[in-house]
Amino acid sequence: GVWNKAFVGDFADKVNYFIPEKEVPTEVEIEGKVIPVVFEEKHTHGVDAWWNLELK
């Protein structure tokens, strides 16, 4: 399918964490620093949480 970032949103750090068969992490380590993974939604609500629920 087509992903419309202008409608749905994007991750704050611009990394795509929507990887088939993997949960979206709540945080990642970059250069020794732990940072939260933030999905900035535009016209949706709970897409990242839905993704993780669908994997269970």
On the 0-12 / 13-18 / 19+ scale of CB atoms within 10 A, 19 is exposed
DSSP-derived pairing of the beta strands 33-36 and 9-11: unpaired
Give, in degrees to the nearest 5, the angle at Cα 38 between 43 and 20. Answer: 85
**Position 10: which residue type?**
D
Average pLDDT over residues 30-55: 95
Structure tokens at 23: 């949960």
Query: Domain residue spans in the chain?
Result: 5-55
Q: What is the pTM of this model?
A: 0.82
pLDDT digits (tens, 9 = 90+) for 26-39: 999 999 999 999 99
